[in-house]
Amino acid sequence: MATLKEVADLAGVSPITVSRVINNPDAVKDQTRQRIEAVMQELKYSPNLAAKNLATNRSGIIDVYIPENIDLSNPFVMHLIAGISQVLSEQYYSFLILRNRRREHVCDGYIVTGLLKNEIQEFVQYAKDRNRPIILFGHTMIPDIDCIDVDNVLGAKRGTEYLIVQGHKQIAMINVFEDKDYTVDRLEGYKQALTENGITYDPKLVFYTANSVDGGEEITAEIVKKQKVSAIFCATDTIAIGVAAKLKSMGYLIPQDISLMGFDGLGHQMLAKPQLTTVQQPIYELGVLLAEKLLERLNGRETPVKKTVAPVLLEGNSVCFKN
């Protein structure tokens, strides 16, 4: 097996420069870095990550916290993990998916998603007690805590406005029955769109259900029985799939009788018939950002990051103009 010194000799640089390419590649000029990487590949050199971690007092492991009540096969989780793993693998980091905090183990920091609003402070304190950085997929006003989130207010506003532009005024909203920031924010975006377009917000047009296909099916009969609506805005595509199935079984045509809007755009929207118009979250890109910013924090960044990313409208076939 080749040694670091052999790589340095063949590349015509010092061992320290090879070490920089391994540990901090941005600090090395592109031409030099590329030459060293080519020699590493030629000699099949593998960095001694255990020695590196011992020298830096790190484990080389990041914990990604996803609560037990979130299905790991959910498209949201799959896109998020793909983005995180892309960045961590490039930096020779591994990660563990943490489902609860009942067992202690060594890690260097936490990427956290899926917390209820009252759980955020608790997890922040958990990380502080262990002197490990944390980055939240969500938002918080807690000082010095990094957080990145989808702009859920803007996304829900754009989705609702799209329905209004198509002539809809009686627009029901189906929200998720969870005390999380995104449920509050998506309701707020729905309200803003109505108010700014001269439509009075009616709380009787807002319904809550579980974030599941069954939840969407169960609430749909209640909506059409209680309210005369021409469009339904769903806080998730998963709920919207259930709504579409139930409307069809009740004899309604989508979008001719009732237009339907979702939120997520992670592939589920294509399972509905017709294909959903939805608000698309850039979850893979957010996974990349979360991992990058946590590694920056581990490498000495002190200024907190508090960032939101705008979602985009993704047109399908579930919305039409109301005559």
pLDDT tens-digit profile of 210-269? 999 999 999 999 999 888 999 999 999 999 999 999 999 999 999 999 999 999 999 989
* Fold for the domain defined by 4-47: 434 Repressor (Amino-terminal Domain) (1.10.260)
- CA torsion sign, 297 to 301 to 306 to 307? negative
Q: At what angle do helices 283-298 and 75-90 cross, to 10 degrees?
A: 40
The CATH superfamily label for domain 152-280 reads: Response regulator (3.40.50.2300)
Report the distance separating Cα 260 and Cα 320, nearest Å: 9
Beta bridge partners of 137: 148
What does the chain come to in residues?
323
Report the distance separating Cα 183 and Cα 77, nearest Å: 17
Give the start-to-end residue ranges of the domains of the chain.
4-47, 61-150+283-309, 152-280
Give the containing element (helix H, strand E) for 274: none
**Per-residue confidence (pLDDT) for residue 294, from 0 to 100:** 97
**Who's near 283: CB < 8 A, 6+ residues apart?**
76, 79, 80, 83, 266
What is the value of pTM for the model shown? 0.82
Report residue 145's pLDDT band, with 50, 70 and 90 as the boundaries: very high
The answer, yes or no, to whether residue 54 has pLDDT greater than 80, is: no
The CATH superfamily label for domain 61-150+283-309 reads: Response regulator (3.40.50.2300)
Check: CB of residue 262 under 8 Å from CB of residue 234: yes
Long-range contacts of 302-307 (CB under 8 A, 24+ apart): 304/143, 304/144, 304/145, 304/146, 305/135, 305/146, 305/147, 305/148, 306/139, 306/146, 306/147, 307/147, 307/148, 307/149
> Tokens 């509905």 belong to which residue?
272
Q: Do domains 61-150+283-309 and 152-280 have the same CATH topology?
A: yes
Report the distance separating Cα 69 and Cα 202, nearest Å: 31
Backbone angles phi, psi at 92, to 5 degrees: 60, 30
